[in-house]
Amino acid sequence: MAFYAFNRREDNDLARAEKELMFSIEKTYNLYHYLMLLVMELSDISSEKIDQARQKKIPFPEDLNPNLRFVNNRVIAQLRKNLEFQKYVSANKLSWVNFSHIVRLLYTKMITWDVYEGYMNSPENNYQMDKKFVLRLVNDLLANSEDLANCLEEQSIYWNDDMEYVIIMIEKTLKKFKADSGEKTALIPLFKNEEDENFVKILFTKAVLNTQKGSELIDNNTTNWELERIALMDILVMRLAITEILEFPEIPVKVTLNEYIEIAKYYCTSKSSTFVNGILDNIVKEIREKGLFNKFGRGLIGESLRTES
């Protein structure tokens, strides 16, 4: 989306655009922690409701002997104690205190959700059941809540399109958790390493600097289509793919194509992935014929067979 924003601007300030790129990535990482914090907030409300019920002047038997399964969810307890998570939330001052009404609204929906009822009343009570429920909570209830989506959009323009990706990040994180995972269990890092961070910066910069080359390749391979008539997001996805093919010789072409076809499915129209796939296939043929790239190492995977044919 930072690449899209740059192409909508008129100042062509690349340095500023690079800063905005890194800021948008950091905001996505904030959302990753913010949504996991939301799961804890739901648990806290459940605990609060149980305490209130116990303090009734004339409590019912179920008030005195409540179902503590969600409150005692083992996966949520692990997240709560995770040192890396605690440090990040504290350093970035993440909190739902100003949006407690959203948390309560989601709690109300959760306790009437059939998945919640099935979890709370299941004869099984183990770590895997706890994890399965938290994954369903994140993947189904939170991911499909319009109230939550509107709340997040209100807080940051950078979160408009990040929800699906962040949900996947959380899912990957929780699937790695085990019953004996301790407080030092690693979460997904902002970048895997310095090389990963540099890749993002170089890809963005090169895509901007190679605008003319990318546009020419797209124009050459869009028969019966004028470049001005193609959706901007389709063009940008293809320009990023072309840049990765030309500028990163260690990445196999097939890997790049698969990656950007998936990106087109997410960020472009429903028909874009097929369109982008067809155009990129033609562009790769032209690039090979003109010898515009030189792959080496892992990047050669698939190239020798293609050359022989």
- CATH 1.10.940.10 residue ranges of the chain are 194-308
- Please, what is the average pLDDT of the chain? 88
Q: What is the pLDDT of residues 252-293, one digit of tens each?
A: 999 999 999 888 887 777 777 888 889 999 999 998 888 887
Q: Is the dihedral of CA 167, 172, 173, 178 positive or negative?
A: positive
- Those residues with Cβ within 8 angstroms of residue 221's Cβ, 6 or more apart along the chain or in another chain: 279, 282, 283, 286
pLDDT at 60 exceeding the cut of 70: yes
40 touches 168 (CB < 8 A): no
Supply the pTM of this predicted model: 0.82
pLDDT, tens digit, for every residue of 209-240?
A: 888 889 899 988 887 666 666 788 888 999 99
Q: What is the structure's pLDDT at 39?
A: 98
**What pLDDT score was predicted for residue 147?**
96
Q: Distance between CA atoms of 198 and 204, rounded to whole angstroms? A: 10
80-98 pLDDT, tens digit each: 999 999 999 999 999 999 9
According to CATH, the topology of domain 194-308 is N-utilizing Substance Protein B Homolog; Chain A (1.10.940)
How far apart (Å, rounded) are the C-alpha atoms in residues 45 and 8?
43
Could you tell me if residue 295 is left (phi over 0), alpha (psi between -120 and 50 degrees) or otherwise beta? beta
